[in-house]
Amino acid sequence: MIVVGGEALIDLVPVAQPPGALLPRPGGGPYNTALALGRLGAEVAFCSRVSTDGFGETLLAGLRAAGVDLSLVQRGPEPTTLAVPSLAPDGSAAYGFYTQGTADRLFALPERLPAGARALALGTCSLVLEPGASAYEALLRREAGRGLLTLLDPNIRPALIADPEAYRSRFRSWLPYVSVLKLSEEDAQWLGGRPEDWLAAGASAVVLTRGAAGLTVRTRAGEEHRAAGVRVRVADTIGAGDTVNAALLHRLSGPGPVDWAAALAYAARAAAITCTRPGAEPPHAAELECVSAGPEARHE
């Protein structure tokens, strides 16, 4: 089983008509990752705290439909976090957030993960907003110590980070517990480092997403691989980076030796499909052979 920890929120996605209208869509980096894993056919559990309000019920219904195990989900009466993406002409998104007093930031460290857990993924807002951020950090350290494969996606949202230097320092303290650090070029620029720096600090592998230019990986064992981007007609890039997380976890957490070239190519195809749809709508496993042609996809 793959466990995904972190926030579930509602993206208020801009739509063309009527002008200025916002469409509520399930979202949050960890939520999207768990949803994508379920759709790809992985055994996956979501570990979070979700509101009992109507948005919270909608979020959980989406995960149930994808076959995601919800036994690790905590519930609370506080409201659901809201995110408002603004879309650039190329479909890339920037975000504003409404997080004050919301349910997901009150996440508490679970006593244990299921006995069959073999991988843990964490990232995005859940690693910033206290007190939940400290609980997720403790979960990362504990489960890495137990030998789980761990994936960390910082997925930097500058609007949420009050003290950038303190966050960068905290980020570096996580790296000895990270099997796969996945981040975008924008994340890397904001963090102010290079893959070789993060490998030296403890990460076992660093995957860098480069939008239309594809994905690269460098490992502490000296491997380097690249997968080209897949050309598709882009609706927006919301959830594309989360789909990369899911595809990598799906390929890397199984038995047998790691095939980085195949894992990166699989992730590039999956993320490209997500880019063809408004909002975070990752593909099902059967769709990965049917990527349509069009302008180049860009994903985080």
Query: pLDDT by residue (tens digit) across 124-179?
Result: 999 999 999 999 999 999 999 999 999 999 999 998 999 999 999 999 999 999 99
Instruction: State the Cα angle at 121 between 198 and 48, rounded to 5°.
Output: 135
Place of tokens 């998104």: 93
State pTM to two decimals: 0.91
Identify the burial level of 130 via C-beta atoms within 10 angstroms of its C-beta, where 0-12 means exposed, 13-18 middle and 19 or more buried.
exposed
Mean pLDDT of 180-189: 95
Q: Over 90: is that where the pLDDT of 190 sits?
A: yes
**Could you count the other beta carbons within 10 Å of the beta carbon of residue 20?**
7
H/E element, 273? helix 260-275
Q: Over 50: is that where the pLDDT of 293 sits?
A: no
Lowest-confidence region among 119-123, 133-137, 168-172, 193-197: 193-197
In this structure, the strands spanning 93-98 and 149-153 are unpaired
Place of tokens 């926030």: 7
Residues in the chain: 300
**What's residue 177's pLDDT?**
98
Nearest to 237 by CA among 21, 85, 34, 122: 85
Three-class secondary structure of residue 215 per DSSP: strand
Q: Say how far apart CA 41 and CA 68 lie, in whole Å.
A: 10
Q: Say how far apart CA 216 and CA 264 lie, in whole Å.
A: 8
Q: Tokens representing 53?
A: 């309000």
Lowest-confidence region among 73-77, 87-91, 104-108, 213-217: 87-91
Mean pLDDT of 196-200: 96
Distance of CA 49 to the CA centre of its chain: 16
Q: Over 60: is that where the pLDDT of 298 sits?
A: no
Q: Over 70: is that where the pLDDT of 96 sits?
A: yes
pLDDT in tens, 232-280: 888 777 889 999 999 999 999 877 788 999 999 999 999 999 888 877 8
Q: Tokens representing 257?
A: 């030796």
Q: Over 70: is that where the pLDDT of 292 sits?
A: no
pLDDT in tens, 21-76: 888 989 999 999 999 999 999 999 999 999 999 999 999 999 999 999 999 999 99
Could you tell me the strand order of the sheet in which 9-14 lies?
22-27, 9-14, 82-87, 93-98
In this structure, the strands spanning 2-5 and 44-47 are parallel
In this structure, the strands spanning 215-219 and 119-123 are unpaired
Three-class secondary structure of residue 251 per DSSP: helix
Mean pLDDT comparison of 78-87, 94-103, 142-151, highest-scoring range: 142-151
